[in-house]
Amino acid sequence: MHVKTPQTLTRPVITARGVTRRYGAKTAVAAADLDLHPGRITCLLGPSGCGKSTLLRLMAGLEPVDDGCIEADDAVLSGPGVHVPPEQRGVGLVFQDYALFPHLSVLDNVAFGLKHLPRKERKARALALLEKVRLAARAEAWPHMLSGGEQQRVALARALAREPAAVLLDEPFSGLDSHLKSEVRETLMAALRAAGAAVLVVTHDAEEALLMADDLVLMSEGRILQAGDPGDCYLNPTSMAAARLLGEANALPARIANGVAETVFGDLPAPGLPDGAGTVMVRPEGLRLWLEGAPAEIVSTAFGGGFHEVTVVAAGQTARLRLHGGVPAVGDQVRVTIDADRARVFAA
Amino acid sequence: MNQSVHALEAARTLGATSRGAFLRVALPLARPALAAGMALAVMETLADYGAVQFLAVQTLTTGVVRAWSVYGSTASAAQFALPLMGAAALLMWLERWGRKGRGFESPNARWRPLPTTALSGVKAWGATAFCLALLTFGLLLPAGWLAWSSLDITPEWPRLQRAALHTVSMGGIGAVVTVLLAGALALGARTMPLAARVASLGYATPGAVMAIGLLAPAAVIWRIFPGAASGFGMGLVLLIYAYAARLMAAALEPIDSGLSKVTPNMVWAARGLGRTEAGAAAAVQIPVAWGALLTAALVVFIDVLKELPATLILRPFNFDTLAVLADNYARDERLSQAGWPSLMIVLIALPAVIWLSRKVAASRPGADA
């Protein structure tokens, strides 16, 4: 288990402030802020088309910004009238399709960015990098001879070759079979941590983001919804949209009165919220079958491996929960309580 | 030829026989390509000069040349040229439209080798005979007849040799210049597609029209710098210019498809690894498209070998190519003598053509190239 560098002790390698990118009438990225810290992995999570890849491209200098600025070490990389080309940014890139050069061997792919070194040194360094991603044995192979996971690792070794201050990865695992993902991820993460660079991983996979991120950034429709510790984002989302990005969430209608939110499954503290209608966000694991609580009926069940996914209806309100142990049956009358630690109240 | 096997397989699982799948899926899918091929054939026919001239068929192309060479009138040559160019541009648009074939492409198709069926009996003989007939009537019969009638005659070797040398060097220079220009254009066109479209219009322009069109501005230059470029050098430069302008599209197409093997991300990856835009082109795009550049060069080379009208009009005095020589002999009714340069064109072009057709067969996505 690695020890996380506390975020507050480091200066960000790259910062984006109010970065905006428009395509015609469509705003792909709207006033986004993003900090990448050395030695930390930042995951940018959002649904497809939310602008997260565009933000990565802006950081890498593949596109100019329309507004806002991107800085590194007090030097402006992108800003009004300024655009440092990608080759001068010291940023490593890993693409979703890996973008390996088909006309070069694996070794030459990795050595591509080391043109400034003498031939011998270049080769030695490229080999050392391949060693790190456990691919030294395939150095002479051609890219098309490698499996997806291997190509992925070559792409990473290639990106790390120039010892970039920041490495940006666009959906790095989306092309891999699910059983390969965790293995490749571990190799990749280890190599990234060892490099000590600031890392940005763009992904639409909530589980992946939660597993990898030191810092999590949630994005939707071009805007950053929330940024912070993954656990905090999961349990204390700032909006229903942010909550949904990180996994299934029940949205229960509630009545707020005198700092208490009433739902069909029970009451929750809602300090400081105005009286009136509200919404309670609760994760499936935040609803429990218990001896007491709201009477409810099981209307459907599905076997999910280590758990059953159960849909219950109480007083006309549908909710989903996960049941570990026990075999629920449709039609069972049960009682459901809500875990206040795993729920959050929003004013409507 | 770029059809997904899965479309055919889907047709089979939906109850179509092999024959039905061909009629109801493969053929309709190929419709744009067939239209494009037809447009191309018509375009080439419109632009043809040598054959119609020899057989004394009155066409717009011969009209253009005659208006210019016999009556010396650029204006009436232009009158003939305009409908010709209009028709050619229309055909070219048709061909483009056919090839783009929106909706006929299989965007997410996976490519596998097309299943081959071994024919037997009558079918096998029929198929072989059909292919042989094309080859026989298209090449073996005329070439054989030429060879047969030429063998009786001693060729004018020195003249023939000089013409062959001229032909090969013009072909070589034309190929290199055209491919250089087309390569630069194709790289630039990744960001500005319109430029390539405009440059490709030359392909629709018949050689005779192109040549006469070039002579007008050339005359202006001659008038301003009478001594600067000798007539000989200027003629060659104009000729290369005409080849490049006319064959730009033919060179662009293979280069473009070669470059399309380089995804935008590959270029960005190179940029991220410290290469400038030009550096990325030199280190990634050009090496990956190298085979395509060679293909383009060969296509241009072959076309220059047999180009007649533009060469006839623009060549410096006494500068014969094999095609010009054949035309000269034919005009003088020395047909057997004309066989020699014609056969030499075939001989020079044949290895290149064979190489190209193998390349085309291998270029279907999914084929082991």
Per-residue pLDDT tens over the stretch A262-290: 999 989 998 888 999 999 999 998 898 88
Given this model, what pLDDT does residue A14 score? 93
Nearest-5° Cα angle at A338, A332 to A343 = 135
Q: Confidence class of residue B366 from pLDDT cuts 50, 70 and 90?
A: very low
Number of C-beta neighbours around residue A224 at 10 A: 23
Can you tell me the distance from the alpha carbon of A122 to that of A128, in angstroms, rounded to the nearest whole number? 10
Q: Model confidence over B317-341: pLDDT tens digits?
A: 788 999 999 988 988 888 888 889 9
The pLDDT value given to residue B3: 63
Identify the pLDDT of residue A214. Answer: 94
Contacts of A85 in chain B (CB under 8 A): 271, 276
**How many angstroms away from the CA of A165 is the closest CA of chain B?**
12
Work out the minimum CA distance from A171 to partner chain B, whole angstroms. 13
Reported as a single tens digit per residue, the pLDDT across B112-154 is 556 677 888 888 899 999 999 998 988 888 888 888 888 888 8
E strands, chain B, are: none
Closest by CA to A105, choosing from A148, A149, A137, is A137
Is any Cβ of chain A less than 8 angstroms from the Cβ of B263? yes
CB–CB of B261 and A60 under 8 A?
Answer: no
Topology at the third CATH level for domain A250-347 = OB fold (Dihydrolipoamide Acetyltransferase, E2P) (2.40.50)
pLDDT at residue B244 tops 70: yes
Domain ranges within chain A, ordered by starting residue: 7-245, 250-347
Separation in Å, CA of A204 to nearest CA in chain B: 19
pLDDT greater than 80 at residue A77: yes
CA distance linking residue B83 with residue B88, whole number of Å:
8
Helix (H) or strand (E) holding B237: helix B231-259
For residue A192, give both structure tokens: 């990234």
Partners of A117 on chain B (C-beta within 8 Å) are: none
Contacts 24+ apart (CB under 8 A), B116-124: B117/B18
Residue B325 near residue B144, CB atoms below 8 Å: no
ipTM of the complex: 0.78
Confidence of residue A6 (pLDDT cuts 50, 70, 90): low
DSSP state of B109: P
Return the C-alpha torsion angle B324, B329, B335, B336, nearest 10: -90
Region A124-130: mean pLDDT is 94
Give yes or no for residue A22 having a pLDDT over 90.
Answer: yes
* pLDDT of A130 higher than 90: yes
% of chain B residues with pLDDT over 90? 20
Mean pLDDT of A54-63: 93
Average pLDDT of span B80-94: 81
A101–B265 CB contact, under 8 Å: no
Q: Look at residue B109 and tell me whether its pLDDT is greater than 50.
A: no
Identify whether the C-beta of residue A197 lies closer than 8 Å to the C-beta of residue A167.
Answer: yes
Compare CB distances from B269 to A85, A89, A95 and report the shortest one's residue.
Answer: A95
Model confidence over B66-77: pLDDT tens digits?
888 788 777 888
| Residues forming a β-bridge with A282 | A250, A343
- The answer to whether the Cα torsion of A95, A101, A105, A108 is positive or negative is negative
| Residue whose structure tokens are 């694991």 | A285
| B261–A93 C-beta distance less than 8 A | no
Is B266's CB within 8 Å of A99's CB?
yes
Give the separation between CA B14 and CA B47, rounded to whole angstroms.
46
**Partner-chain residue, chosen from B270, B272, B283, that has the shortest CB–CB distance to A92:** B272
Q: Can you tell me the distance from the alpha carbon of A203 to that of A210, in angstroms, rounded to the nearest whole number?
A: 11
Which residues from B are below 8 Å from A92, CB to CB? 272
Report how far residue B364's alpha carbon sits from residue B366's, in angstroms, rounded to the nearest whole number.
6
CATH class of this structure's domain A7-245:
alpha beta
pLDDT, tens digit (0-9, with 9 covering 90-100), for B21-50 = 888 888 888 877 787 788 778 878 888 888
What pLDDT is attached to residue B165? 94
Contact call for A87 and B283, based on CB within 8 A: no
Distance from A93 to chain B by nearest Cα, in Å?
A: 6
- pLDDT for residue B239 is more than 80: yes
Q: 10 Å Cβ neighbour count for A239?
A: 16
CA distance A88 to chain B (A): 7
Look up tokens 């054949």; give the residue. Answer: B326
Chain-wide mean pLDDT for chain B?
82
- Residues B284, A101: C-beta atoms closer than 8 Å: yes
Q: Do residues B212 and B238 touch, judged by C-beta distance below 8 A? A: no
How many whole angstroms separate alpha carbon A299 and alpha carbon A283?
18
B141 touches chain A (CB under 8 A): no
* Residue count (chain B): 369
Of B266, B272, B287, the CB nearest to A86: B272
Residues of B in contact with A112 (CB under 8 A): 270, 273, 283
Contact B266 A158 (CB under 8 A): no
Cα torsion angle, B88, B89, B90, B92, sign: positive
pLDDT at A7 over 60: no
pLDDT for the residue numbered B107: 43
Structure confidence at residue B166 as a pLDDT band (50, 70, 90): very high
Beta bridge partners, A317, equal A314
Q: Does A175 touch chain B (CB under 8 A)?
A: no
The Cα B177–Cα B158 span in angstroms is 28
Residue B24: exposed, middle, or buried by beta-carbon count in 10 A (0-12, 13-18, 19+)? middle
Option in A93, A102, A162 nearest B288 (CB): A102
Q: Is the pLDDT score of B218 beyond 70?
A: yes
* C-alpha closest to that of A263 among A240, A293, A301: A293
The DSSP bridge pattern shows strands A91-94 and A166-170 to be: parallel
Q: Which pLDDT does position A1 carry in this prediction?
A: 44
In the three-class reduction of DSSP (H, G, I as helix; E, B as strand; rest coil), residue A64 is classed as coil
The two three-digit tokens of residue A248, written as one number: 């299934």
As a whole number, mean pLDDT of residues B188-210 equals 76
Give the whole-angstrom CA distance, residue A35 versus residue B43: 59
A101, burial (CB in 10 Å: exposed 0-12, middle 13-18, buried 19+):
buried
Domains of chain B listed by start with CATH number = 1-100 (no CATH), 120-152 (no CATH), 153-364 (1.10.3720.10)
DSSP SS3 for B106: coil
- pTM for the model: 0.77
Pairwise CA distance, residues A245 & A220, whole Å: 9
CB-CB neighbours of A12 under 10 Å:
19
- Within B160-207, strands assigned E span none
